[in-house]
Every structure is written in C-alpha cells, then in structure tokens.
Amino acid sequence: MTQHLLIFGFGYSASYFARAYGHEWQISATVRDAGKAEILNKQGIPTFIFNPDYVDAGLRGMIARADALLISIPPAQDDPVLRVFGEEIIAHPPKRIVYLSTIGVYGDHAGAWVDETTPPHPKSLRSQQRLRAEQQWQSLSERAQCALDILRLAGIYGPHQNALEQLRRNSAKRILKKGQVFNRIHVADIAQVIHACLTSRHEGGVWNVGDNEPAPPQDVVSYAADLLGCTPPPLIDFDAADLSPMARSFYGENKRVRNEALRTTLGIKLIYPTYREGLQALYDSLRQPEAGDD
C-alpha cells in the first residue's frame, strides 16, 4: 500500500523532491495562496491553504492519515506548524518527520570546520529561530515517539536558482572578503537525502546537507562565467559592496561544514559533490534543445 506523505510548505526543495520521488508516495501539500493550490490540485496533488490568516479545515484529517511529514516552512516568532498542529501531530503521530533547517544554526566559526557534534551558536535572528524550532520538533518527536530527521541545509542552488542564471540576468556579483567560504548543496541532492531519510529504518538524527568543498563565493561566479564564455563581473570589496542587510548577514558567518555523517551513516553519494559538477550539469541543461526543436 502506498504511504501518505504530507508536505508542509511546497517550496523549491519540497517541490523538487515531489517531482523526483513523488511516484513512490501519495503526496499532499500545503501552500500559502489559493492560486498555487488550484494549480497543484489540477496536477493531482491534494493541496491545502495554510498561512497566518487562513488554515484549511481539511488539513486536520490529512495529519491523521499521514505516514510521514516533511516540514519545509520557516519559523518566524514560532514554528507555525507546531503552533497550529502540534497537539494534533502528537495525537496522531506519523512514523517519521523530516524537518528542513539550516547550517546557519552553527553561527560563525571564523572559517573552521564544524560537524553535527559542534554546539549550535546561531548569530542571526532567523538562525536563532531555526534552532528553537529544531528543539521544539525534537521535543514533539519524543512525546509522539516518532523518528525525526533534521536536515541542516547549506546554500541551495539548482534549476533557475544558480550563478549561471544570475550572470544571464546581469545580477551576479563577485564579492571579495578575505578567507570567506560557503558550502552549497544542489536541490537534487537535498531531494535524495529527504528520500533516504523517509525510506530508512534508522532512528533519526541531525544531518549536515552540504557539498564536499566549501569555496569562496567569487570563485563560483568565475566558474559559471567560464562556462558561459563571458567576462565575470569585477571583484568588489565586501566593505564597499551594495548588499541587502540579509545578504550582508550571510557574510558575517564563515565556516566549513563537514558532511561525513551524511555519506557514511546515511550512505549518501552526492550527485554533485562540488559546485563545479552542479554548475556543469546546469549549463549542459541550458544547451539542450527544447522539445519540438529541430
């Protein structure tokens, strides 16, 4: 019998997972607006509206039926899923919950390596909220006696969301901050990790979901420019760069994130172990003719 997966927040990563592995699950989902819900319902995905102003009454019945939950909604002052449905989930516990978090919970480590045993010390408000949500989901899983996987995601890229697209839109920047590196993760690798967690018999855990090679951000843009055969944008010193407060805050944290547990314990072999393989595949997809072209 096909198991039922309820996805809270049908965003970039969750929707990619559904396209890649949805044939293995009976999937239902939540979105924030009625227009997107209508589109997904027409595609055969039962979809419910869930936002701060409206909660679809049908969601409670779906929670009771769910074999697993995928939580992909960021917290604000609190976690909206826990606030509205926490007691409902405890009363009708799924077999497993997968919660999408962020490596931002580790805070700044001045470029040093961190792993899942490193105590979280979030710096930004959004990462502090993420850590609090992680702790609340851990508490719920203990009360409900169900497995919980927390996926701490690195910077996400993939189709329509990558340095190649930024260069094509003339929005790419090469920001130079001495010693700064970031981990990244292709959305296809996020999808395979979600799949591994949902189908595994392990008891759950915390997993760093990032690539094998933390790298300076300007190098990623330069590599993308080489693929496109264009001149990369000029280097801009971080202190002089025109960045949004959120973008600037990302540069306030510098760390190298290990993913050994992901590869050894979960047995994940990354499809795109570094940004080079990921960008190459995205570039190759741009060169493929559209259906119907000669």
What is residue 182's three-state secondary structure? strand
**Axis-axis angle for helices 80-91, 125-144 (nearest 10):** 10
**Residue at 108 is within a domain:** yes
> 29 lies in which domain range?
4-158+184-214+256-272
**Residue at 134 is within a domain:** yes
**Residue at 13 is within a domain:** yes
**Residue at 140 is within a domain:** yes
Instruction: Read off the pLDDT of residues 89-126 as tens digits, 9 standing for 90 and up.
Output: 999 999 999 999 999 999 999 999 999 999 999 999 99
Q: 224: closest CA among 265, 170, 146, 156?
A: 170
**Residue at 223 is within a domain:** no
**Residue at 116 is within a domain:** yes
**CA angle, residues 195, 159, 277, in degrees to nearest 5:** 80
Q: What are phi and psi of 168, to 5 degrees?
A: -65, -30
Between CA 13 and CA 24 the distance in angstroms is: 17
Position 289 scores a pLDDT of: 61
Position 30 scores a pLDDT of: 98
Position 291 scores a pLDDT of: 45
Instruction: Read off the pLDDT of residues 196-230 as tens digits, 9 standing for 90 and up.
Output: 999 988 889 999 999 999 999 999 999 999 999 99
Between CA 80 and CA 63 the distance in angstroms is: 15
Between CA 149 and CA 137 the distance in angstroms is: 10
Position 290 scores a pLDDT of: 53
In the chain, the number of structural domains is 1
What is residue 196's three-state secondary structure? helix
Share of the chain above pLDDT 90, in %: 91
Between CA 181 and CA 217 the distance in angstroms is: 6
Dihedral, 171, 175, 181, 182 alpha carbons, nearest 10: -20
Q: What are phi and psi of 163, to 5 degrees?
A: -65, -30
**Residue at 170 is within a domain:** no
Regarding pTM above 0.85, the answer is yes
Position 2 scores a pLDDT of: 85
Between CA 7 and CA 27 the distance in angstroms is: 7
Position 254 scores a pLDDT of: 97
**Residue at 290 is within a domain:** no
pLDDT band for position 293 (cuts 50, 70, 90): very low
The CATH number given to whatever domain includes residue 125 is 3.40.50.720
